[in-house]
Structure 1
């Protein structure tokens, strides 16, 4: 056993299970500038909060690493903080010289990043910035812009209706995810002036722990019970939006109350086609994965990473070199753009009862 890998019997059992959930390659001849083998580790957060991590991020990253001929190991912590740290320990001990993480929270993420740094491993925050962390780079979308698109989207959908001073419920993302904070900053920059002017009525507002869709359903049901006249729902992603839609459907109000989303998941897009969801935000994950893999591959080979901007870490009080990408708002009339971009397939989106809806929306 390599020095520094101190695992209990229980941890070893956990590690065996986790390894089975990952994928790796050892067919690489690439080496860093110092002759060490180039190897990249990636830790994804879960597969419950959003389908994207397994259906999009993993295959895009895998394809890029294989094309570059670098060794890699991609694993998913499945929402388990202990598992996250155990995977990181295993990857560091196995010789990765670059570690890419999507943190579960900033505390866990910081511990992992600091350990990697102490072992001379280059680090990248992927999609979520670890507050107070030590990642050398950050790759994501402009998350305040994502939230602004959501706020503008809800306003657009409400303008199409007849509701006067609609009560707006806000289902925010996880309080431990810095992205959720940025999304809220974005959509509240649109909604707060409308509350202040009396155009909208500020309704229940709650964060959903761990982006958990089941909890979101319970929370929204309580919101609707306490405020039956909810006229719009700012849901921070498609999973939370679908949870709200399920409750609205049970109350025969789906399609009557605009609901936002994010991630352009198959489910979210189907809800848009059906008229149950107002809009979503498309973040071209391939662009994010490609930018991350390009940066990680360069670092693994001992080269300098290239970035185009930086973000402020308010807790660490430092500027983090970053690559920030541009999100796109998706409504019923441009759902086809997500299909044309290859992010979702027509076969998945247009299955069963959605086939006719796809045809009507020009999805070929």
Structure 2
């Protein structure tokens, strides 16, 4: 997650305790299930909470802006002001519940401030929304949802820690007539749930194609491939990631695949293992065992940057140099960018969070005003992957981007998702210069 979705999350039970999160204001800057186009409309034990003021003039009209869709959002948050009429027409709190602060820094560094920025730009006041973090605790995430609903929430935007929490929150929200937006990770339960994320099947396909291209560019002979999948035991997104890259590499959507699988390009699958709960340390142990048992492994596929870096660390400890054994990832973490520039990782899937938060706020604002979301916004349907129970849900899916050294400066650096100074300090000025990145 990574995620980031597709990220490991530690979970323990604990009581909810209020802890203020500093109001964050950033300058404009910078999955899952099978999907199909549909045009449907229809971990400490404390929690972080942000309640911020968001004044602003409202538009007279409460109508949905003409042409609103997943491509309407930009780095300047310019579309949000068009929602002020809808914001004024709607009633009830919008509760935003993020999952944790440890599995990825994205929730503190990007999601929380971007939600604040989007909500304020759409004309929400301090009494109209609240942003919380469950700190990786299942019981806390459920309690936060219940608390928001008791305070009059009419829409909840939440990133479920797992499918069990998702189902619990959905059931409670449904029983209280509250619309639910499952953010970044799907909840396949109930009939009042929407899904906002990036196209997770496409995320996997980008990883798969990036891997195939990289194996060729690096001159890997007769690739003996090991795949380190994400937490398919807890995350349906991880299933779709693997289905996506397997469809490209092996022309099969099964996950995990059986050792000995081959393709027409001369690739052979040595092994395919799931990393329980997305724990990077566990992934490193799995790969170490596999590399010891199968020293002929000369190409790898990983579901996110954390697992990619776990493999890179093992390879370096074994004396493997750059551009010898490909690795992959997603989430465009700074560690992933370092590994790309240093020749250990082929690329990473970038999912601009500023687009995702605006998408979720736009959909929440429409639902809060009891309007019908347009087909350009709810542009797909997401269904449970094979083997995952649940029902199909209407979805708003954004397009992910494959980042390599050649387009890093024009994507994650341009969007201020990655600090060029920190990146260049880690990899060296000459490496950055070669990638046209200026600290």
Q: Where do residues 1-364 of structure 1 align in structure 2 (5 Å cutoff)?
A: 13-16=15-18, 20-25=47-52, 37-70=91-124, 71-175=128-232, 176-193=234-251, 195-197=262-264, 199-255=266-322, 256-306=324-374, 307-314=377-384, 315-318=389-392, 320-338=393-411, 339-364=413-438
Q: Which runs of 5+ in 2 are unaligned?
A: 1-12, 20-44, 57-83, 252-260
Question: How many residues of Structure 1 are paired with residues of Structure 2 in the alignment?
Answer: 353
In the alignment, the residues of structure 2 paired with residue 98 and residue 280 of structure 1 have an alpha-carbon distance, to the nearest angstrom, of: 33
| Partner secondary structure for residue 218 of structure 2 | coil
In the alignment, the residues of structure 1 paired with residue 356 and residue 338 of structure 2 have an alpha-carbon distance, to the nearest angstrom, of: 24
Q: Is the 2:208–2:246 contact (alpha carbons within 8 Å) kept by the matching residues of 1?
A: yes
In the TM superposition, residue 300 of structure 1 has moved relative to its aligned partner by: 2.8
Q: TM-score, normalised by structure 1?
A: 0.88
In the TM superposition, residue 196 of structure 1 has moved relative to its aligned partner by: 3.5
Q: Is the 2:170–2:189 contact (alpha carbons within 8 Å) kept by the matching residues of 1?
A: no
Deviates more, 1:96-105 or 1:40-49: 40-49
In the alignment, the residues of structure 2 paired with residue 302 and residue 108 of structure 1 have an alpha-carbon distance, to the nearest angstrom, of: 26
In the alignment, the residues of structure 1 paired with residue 118 and residue 168 of structure 2 have an alpha-carbon distance, to the nearest angstrom, of: 28
Q: Is the 1:113–1:134 contact (alpha carbons within 8 Å) kept by the matching residues of 2?
A: no
TM-align CA RMSD: 2.6
In the alignment, the residues of structure 2 paired with residue 112 and residue 264 of structure 1 have an alpha-carbon distance, to the nearest angstrom, of: 30
In the alignment, the residues of structure 2 paired with residue 35 and residue 289 of structure 1 have an alpha-carbon distance, to the nearest angstrom, of: 21
Q: TM-score, normalised by structure 2?
A: 0.74
Q: Is the 2:46–2:135 contact (alpha carbons within 8 Å) kept by the matching residues of 1?
A: no
Deviates more, 1:48-57 or 1:137-146: 48-57
Q: Which runs of 5+ in 1 are unaligned?
A: 1-10
Higher helix share: 1
In the alignment, the residues of structure 2 paired with residue 212 and residue 254 of structure 1 have an alpha-carbon distance, to the nearest angstrom, of: 25
In the TM superposition, residue 257 of structure 1 has moved relative to its aligned partner by: 1.0
Q: Is the 1:26–1:72 contact (alpha carbons within 8 Å) kept by the matching residues of 2?
A: no
| Partner secondary structure for residue 21 of structure 1 | strand
Q: Is the 1:203–1:230 contact (alpha carbons within 8 Å) kept by the matching residues of 2?
A: yes
In the TM superposition, residue 47 of structure 1 has moved relative to its aligned partner by: 3.3
Q: Paired residue for 1:6?
A: none
Q: Residues 130-184 of structure 1, C-alpha deviation per residue, up to 9 Å, x if partnerless?
A: 1234443111111111101111111111102333222211111111211111111
In the alignment, the residues of structure 2 paired with residue 100 and residue 308 of structure 1 have an alpha-carbon distance, to the nearest angstrom, of: 15
Deviates more, 1:298-307 or 1:180-189: 298-307
In the TM superposition, residue 251 of structure 1 has moved relative to its aligned partner by: 1.0
In the alignment, the residues of structure 2 paired with residue 78 and residue 213 of structure 1 have an alpha-carbon distance, to the nearest angstrom, of: 19
In the alignment, the residues of structure 2 paired with residue 171 and residue 359 of structure 1 have an alpha-carbon distance, to the nearest angstrom, of: 32
Q: Is the 2:304–2:331 contact (alpha carbons within 8 Å) kept by the matching residues of 1?
A: yes
Relative contact order higher in (CA < 8 Å, ≥ 6 apart): 2
1:89/1:26 Cα in 2 relative to 1: closer, same or farther (>3 Å)? farther
In the TM superposition, residue 192 of structure 1 has moved relative to its aligned partner by: 1.4
In the alignment, the residues of structure 2 paired with residue 97 and residue 168 of structure 1 have an alpha-carbon distance, to the nearest angstrom, of: 48
